Every structure is written in C-alpha cells, then in structure tokens.
C-alpha cells in the first residue's frame, strides 16, 4: 500500500513538473519591441526602463558591433535613420551614402544624439504621432549597459523581466572580420544567461547562424528562429532540430479576411506540433494595416490564432489585453 502511495505521489510530481521549455514563461509573453518604442525613441535606455515599468515579460535588444567590438543596441547596421551622425561626422559615410555603426568606436557613438526614427533622405519622421524627432536627449548604449539596467530594475522592483537579444546580420559582421555571435554569447554568459531557465531568448533571422549556435557552439539558451519570407516557413521541421520557437511576420499567420473574420494559415498549428513556440512581430497600435483597431489585432493573433507571444511597440496595451483574458 505504502509503495503504491509513493508511486502515485511520484507520478503526481513528475506530471506537475513543467517541461524545460516552459519553466519560466507565461503562457503568452509580451516582448517590448525595441523597448516601449511606441512612446520613446526605439532602443534607448529610457524606452527600456518604460517597458520594464509596463511589465513586459521580455525586453528586446537588436545587436550590432562597433569598430572596437562593443555590442551596441540598435536596430540596423546603419546609424543615419536614428541619430545625428550625418551632421556630426559628415565625411564618414560609405560609398552607398550610409553611415555604419561598425565604422565608429564606442566613444564616438556615445557623442551622437539618438532620435525618433526618420527617413534619412527626406528627414521625415517615420511614425508622425510618436515622440517628436530631435527633441529630448538620448544616447546609444552597449548591450552590457542595457543588461545592467534591466537586472538592476529587476532587483529594485522584485520583478524578473527577461531579455530577448537579436544577433543582427552575422554575415555582414563576418565580412567585416568580426564575430558578433561569439561576443554576444560571452556577454550573456558573463551576466548569467546560459540556459533556457535564465530568462533570455536569443533570436536571429540567419538560420545557418542560429543552427550553428545550437549545434556547434552548444548553446543551451532558448533559441528563436526569425522568419522573414513565406517560403522559409517550409523549413519548420528543420528549424525544430535546433530552435525552441519561431518569430514570423504576423502576416504569415493570416490567410484571408471575409465578412470581417480572419482565417489562418497552418503555421501556428504546424509549429506547435513540432513543439515550437510562436512569437510574431510586430504589434503596432499606429500601423494596423488589415485590422480595424488594435484590439482586433490582439484578439485575432493572440487568441484566435493562438500564438504564444507578441513583439509590440506598445507593450502596455498587450499586457492589459492579456490581463483581461485571464
């Protein structure tokens, strides 16, 4: 009798134990896309602090190397659509008229003013109703500075908000003689992010690089394969050999809209069958496209299509939406 009871208790403990992939994650996670970038210039420390206060589950960092190998938190390999580099260093552009992060030292990058995203050809602000371009005083920063901000805020607030770094254009870095992945993995390890339990999700559009991170570099981090083009979704089974999730453009999930109702592609269910989480990008309350309002976008993708998370410029709206659904 005693052994049967022990067996039943053991069975209960095993069945209650969350899988390794789900140890720390809410059923649906909110990823602050470039921070609370709907409210403050993207990828500034101010936008990250705001996202933290809004209780996003994860805060995103896009990463590019400086000339002196410091990982900088910035969306592109270029500087001229979010900073005043063209005014401060007018002679430092390349033949294509672009200014590259990789051509500047960390000290030089720190002299630049960061501003709301704009078109470098026309000077026009990308999202006209967001933080006014050219106002305020914002700076670029390193990956280490951002991790210290988030870990510091986690300590002072008692929260455990994660990081969601993206290795940007590894092939470009390689052509420039740099190994972005190696540097990022070292920073992550230095700050305690080594396994799936460490509240870090590493993402990359470059499938070869992400596969290498798992299979050659033996990383045990939670890996998300970003997907840009619809044809890449055919490689789902292969992605599942090294990744824990996918990050598709949200339109790859939508099929048609008839009588104001959306139908869906098989992407989410196919991914779920393979054990992959699905975190689509990008939920923007001021760029709705086929949706009549932001609530419809959240309901359609998060609930009806049953994705596992959302990259959003407006993390507060998604956090509130999900709170109401509990």
**Could you list the active site residues?**
33, 75
33 binding ligand G3P? (CB under 6 A): yes
> Which of 311/321 has CB closer to ligand G3P?
311
Backbone angles phi, psi at 157, to 5 degrees: -105, -10
> Which of 31/153 has CB closer to Ca ion?
31
User: What's the closest the beta carbon of residue 214 comes to ligand G3P, in angstroms?
Assistant: 18
Indicate which single residue of 80, 166, 209, 313 sits in contact with ligand G3P (rule: CB under 6 A).
Answer: 166
277 binding ligand G3P? (CB under 6 A): no
CA 284 to chain centroid, in Å, comes to 14
313 binding Ca ion? (CB under 5 A): no
User: What's the closest the beta carbon of residue 4 comes to Ca ion, in angstroms?
Assistant: 52
Note if the bond before 282 is cis, omega within 30 degrees.
yes
166 binding Ca ion? (CB under 5 A): yes
For residue 237, give every residue at least 6 positions away whose Cβ sits within 8 Å of its Cβ, in sequence order, or none. Answer: 274
Token pair 């709170």 is found at: 323
> Which of 82/89 has CB closer to ligand G3P?
82
Indicate which single residue of 66, 115, 142, 203 sits in contact with ligand G3P (rule: CB under 6 A).
Answer: 203
Indicate which single residue of 202, 226, 267, 268 sits in contact with ligand G3P (rule: CB under 6 A).
Answer: 226
Within 122-179, where are the H helices? 143-157, 170-175
User: From residue 40, how far is each of 115, 134, 145, 160 by CA, in Å?
Assistant: 9, 12, 18, 22
Q: Checking phi first, is residue 260 left (phi over 0); if not, alpha (psi -120 to 50) or beta?
A: left
> Which of 89/140 has CB closer to Ca ion?
140
247 binding ligand G3P? (CB under 6 A): yes
For residue 58, give every residue at least 6 positions away whose Cβ sits within 8 Å of its Cβ, in sequence order, or none. Answer: 29, 30, 31, 32, 161, 162, 163, 164, 199, 201, 309
User: How many residues appear in the chain?
Assistant: 326
62 binding Ca ion? (CB under 5 A): yes
Residues of the shown chain interacting with ligand G3P in the complex, contacts defined by CB under 6 A: 33, 60, 62, 75, 166, 203, 226, 247, 281-282, 311
What is the contact surface with Ca ion in residues (CB under 5 A)? Answer: 62, 166
């Amino acid at each position: 009798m005693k052994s049967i009871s022990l067996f039943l208790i053991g069975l209960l403990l095993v069945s209650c134990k969350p899988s390794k992939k789900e140890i720390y994650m809410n059923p649906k996670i909110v990823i602050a896309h470039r921070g609370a970038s709907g409210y403050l210039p993207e990828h500034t420390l101010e936008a990250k602090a705001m996202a933290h206060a809004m209780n996003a589950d994860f805060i995103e960092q896009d990463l590019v190397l400086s000339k002196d190998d410091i990982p900088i938190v910035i969306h592109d390999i270029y500087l001229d659509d979010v900073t005043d580099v063209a005014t401060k260093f007018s002679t430092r552009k390349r033949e294509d008229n672009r200014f590259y992060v990789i051509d500047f030292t960390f000290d030089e990058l720190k002299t630049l003013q960061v501003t709301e995203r704009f078109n470098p050809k026309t000077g026009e602000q990308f999202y006209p109703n967001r933080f006014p371009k050219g106002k305020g005083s914002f700076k670029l920063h390193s990956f280490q500075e951002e991790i210290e901000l988030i870990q510091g805020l986690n300590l002072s607030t008692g929260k455990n908000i994660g990081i969601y770094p993206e290795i940007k254009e590894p092939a470009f870095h390689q052509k420039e003689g740099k190994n972005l992945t190696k540097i990022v993995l070292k920073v992550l390890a230095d700050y305690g992010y080594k396994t799936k339990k460490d509240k870090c999700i590493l993402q990359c559009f470059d499938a070869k690089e992400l596969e290498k991170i798992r299979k050659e570099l033996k990383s045990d981090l939670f890996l998300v394969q970003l997907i840009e083009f619809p044809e890449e979704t055919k490689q789902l089974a292969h992605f599942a050999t090294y990744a824990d999730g996918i990050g598709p453009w949200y339109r790859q999930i939508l099929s048609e809209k008839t009588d104001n109702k959306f139908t869906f592609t098989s992407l989410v269910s196919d991914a779920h069958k393979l054990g992959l989480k699905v975190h689509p990008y990008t939920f923007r309350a001021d760029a709705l496209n086929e949706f009549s309002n932001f609530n419809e976008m959240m309901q359609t993708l998060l609930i009806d299509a049953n994705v596992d998370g959302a990259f959003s410029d407006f993390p507060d709206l998604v956090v509130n939406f999900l709170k109401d659904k509990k």
